Amino acid sequence: QVQLVESGGGLVQPGGSLRLSCVASGNRFSINGMGWYRQAPGKQRELVANIISGGSTNYADSVKGRFTISRDNAKNTAYLQMNNLKTEDTAVYYCNANGGISNGFTRRAFNSWGQGTQVTVSS
């Protein structure tokens, strides 16, 4: 399997910034897409941003112009730079990655989730 570990969450005042990181680890895997999702209390998990292997990105309307997703393929790492944070950005942020795992003979798809990191925006 492919494991994902997020870091970078915390408490920040409105208007502040945070940078989340997500590192993928495992054996013989290749990543197609990576993304960030978030889930606020009492709400469904929603897509924040994703990026595919070619570099194309997609953002939720609520974060466009404030958040930037990027990835370092050599490090199997994705980042989410969050600027001008608002109280409504408060949530647990989850990293997601999908791609394939090869054993030398066959290849199977994977879709992995991290454990989540809390982001709290409050004065």
- For 54-99, how does the pLDDT look when each residue is reduced to its tens digit (9 = 90+)? 889 999 999 999 999 999 999 999 999 999 999 999 999 999 999 9
Confidence of residue 105 (pLDDT cuts 50, 70, 90): confident
Number of other CB atoms surrounding residue 36 within 10 Å: 27
| Of 118, 82, 123, 106, nearest in space to 6 by CA | 118
Whether 106 shows a pLDDT value over 90: the answer reads no
Q: β-strand 117-121 against 10-12: which pairing, if any?
A: parallel
Q: β-strand 18-25 against 91-102: which pairing, if any?
A: unpaired
pLDDT tens digits for range 10-69: 999 999 999 999 999 998 999 999 999 999 999 999 999 999 988 899 999 999 999 999
